[in-house]
A and B are shown apart, each in its own frame.
Chain A
Amino acid sequence: MGFFEEVTLLTKFTFRFFRELFKPRYEFNEFVRQSYLIGYKSFPLVAITGLILGLVMTIQSRPTLAEFGAVSWLPAMVSVSIVRELGPTIFALIFAGKVGSGIGAELASMKVTEQIDAMEVSGMNPYKYIVVTRVLATTLMLPLLVILGDAISLYGAYIAVNLKGSVSFHLFFLQVFKSLDFSDVFPAFIKTFFFGFAIGLISCFKGYNSTNGTEGVGVAANTSVVLGSLSVFIIDMIAVQITSMLY
Chain B
Amino acid sequence: METVAEITHLRKSFGTNHVLNDINLKINKGENLVVLGKSGSGKSVLIKCLVGLIEPDEGEIFLFGENIAGLKTGKLNILRKKVGFLFQSAALYDSMSVRENLEFPLRDLKAKPREETDALVIEALQNVGLESAIDKMPSELSGGMRKRVGLARTLILKPEIILYDEPTTGLDPITSREISQLILNMQKKYNTASIIITHDIECARITANRVIIIKEGIVLAEGTFKEISESKDEWIRSFFN
Binding site for B on A (CB under 8 A): 25, 106, 109-110, 113-115, 117-125
- Report whether A117 and B77 are in contact in the complex, using a CB–CB cutoff of 8 Å: no
Q: How distant is the Cα of A153 from the Cα of B85 in the complex, in angstroms?
A: 52
In-complex Cβ contact of A113 among B53, B79, B81, B94 (8 A): B94
- Would you give 26 A-B contacts (Cβ < 8 Å), ordered by A? A25-B108, A106-B95, A110-B93, A110-B94, A113-B91, A114-B87, A114-B91, A115-B93, A115-B94, A117-B87, A118-B85, A118-B87, A119-B104, A120-B53, A121-B53, A122-B104, A122-B105, A122-B157, A123-B77, A123-B79, A123-B80, A123-B81, A124-B104, A124-B108, A125-B73, A125-B77
Q: Cβ of A25: which chain B residues have Cβ within 8 Å of it?
A: 108
Cβ of B115 to closest chain A Cβ, rounded Å: 20
Given contact pairs A122-B104, A124-B108, A115 touches B80 in the complex (Cβ within 8 A) = no
Q: How distant is the Cα of A2 from the Cα of B215 in the complex, in angstroms?
A: 35
Q: Cβ of A113: which chain B residues have Cβ within 8 Å of it?
A: 89, 91, 94
- Report whether A115 and B92 are in contact in the complex, using a CB–CB cutoff of 8 Å: yes
- Report whether A114 and B89 are in contact in the complex, using a CB–CB cutoff of 8 Å: yes
8 extra interchain contacts, Cβ-Cβ under 8 A, other than A118-B85, A119-B104? A113-B89, A117-B91, A120-B53, A121-B53, A122-B81, A122-B104, A123-B79, A123-B80
Cβ of B194 to closest chain A Cβ, rounded Å: 15
| Contact size range, B | 20 to 34
- Report whether B94 and A123 are in contact in the complex, using a CB–CB cutoff of 8 Å: no
Q: How distant is the Cα of A106 from the Cα of B241 in the complex, in angstroms?
A: 43
Cβ of A176 to closest chain B Cβ, rounded Å: 42
Report if B213 contacts A (CB, 8 A).
no
Q: Cβ of A119: which chain B residues have Cβ within 8 Å of it?
A: 93, 104
Residue of B whose beta carbon sits closest to that of A112 = B89
Residue of A whose beta carbon sits closest to that of B87 = A114
Q: Cβ of B93: which chain A residues have Cβ within 8 Å of it?
A: 110, 115, 118-119
Q: Mark B40-78, 1 if CB is under 8 A from A, else 0.
A: 000000001001010000000000000000000100011
- Report whether A122 and B87 are in contact in the complex, using a CB–CB cutoff of 8 Å: no
Report if B83 contacts A (CB, 8 A).
yes
Cβ of A31 to closest chain B Cβ, rounded Å: 14
Cβ of B137 to closest chain A Cβ, rounded Å: 14
Cβ of A132 to closest chain B Cβ, rounded Å: 15
In-complex Cβ contact of A121 among B73, B85, B104 (8 A): B85
Q: Cβ of B105: which chain A residues have Cβ within 8 Å of it?
A: 122, 124
Q: Cβ of A123: which chain B residues have Cβ within 8 Å of it?
A: 77-81, 108
Q: Cβ of A122: which chain B residues have Cβ within 8 Å of it?
A: 80-81, 85, 104-105, 157
Q: Mark B20-35, 1 if CB is under 8 A from A, else 0.
A: 0000000000000000
Cβ of A37 to closest chain B Cβ, rounded Å: 10
Q: How distant is the Cα of A120 from the Cα of B91 in the complex, in angstroms?
A: 12
Q: Cβ of B92: which chain A residues have Cβ within 8 Å of it?
A: 115
A-B pairs, 4 with minimum CB distance: A123-B81, A118-B91, A123-B77, A123-B80
Chain B CB count within 10 A is highest, among A119, A124, A125, for A124
Q: Cβ of A110: which chain B residues have Cβ within 8 Å of it?
A: 93-94
Cβ of B76 to closest chain A Cβ, rounded Å: 8
Q: How distant is the Cα of A123 from the Cα of B73 in the complex, in angstroms?
A: 9
Cβ of A41 to closest chain B Cβ, rounded Å: 14
Q: How distant is the Cα of A124 from the Cα of B78 in the complex, in angstroms?
A: 9
Q: How distant is the Cα of A119 from the Cα of B92 in the complex, in angstroms?
A: 10
- Report whether A121 and B51 are in contact in the complex, using a CB–CB cutoff of 8 Å: yes
Residues 100-122 of B at the A interface (beta carbon under 8 Å): 104-105, 108
Q: Cβ of A120: which chain B residues have Cβ within 8 Å of it?
A: 53, 80
- Report whether A121 and B89 are in contact in the complex, using a CB–CB cutoff of 8 Å: no
Residues 188-219 of B at the A interface (beta carbon under 8 Å): none
Cβ of A240 to closest chain B Cβ, rounded Å: 39
Q: Cβ of A124: which chain B residues have Cβ within 8 Å of it?
A: 77, 104-105, 108
Chain B CB count within 10 A is highest, among A106, A119, A122, A124, for A122
Q: How distant is the Cα of A162 from the Cα of B77 in the complex, in angstroms?
A: 64
Q: How distant is the Cα of A110 from the Cα of B108 in the complex, in angstroms?
A: 21
Q: How distant is the Cα of A119 from the Cα of B94 in the complex, in angstroms?
A: 12
Q: Cβ of B77: which chain A residues have Cβ within 8 Å of it?
A: 123-125
Q: Cβ of A117: which chain B residues have Cβ within 8 Å of it?
A: 48, 53, 87, 91
Cβ of A32 to closest chain B Cβ, rounded Å: 14
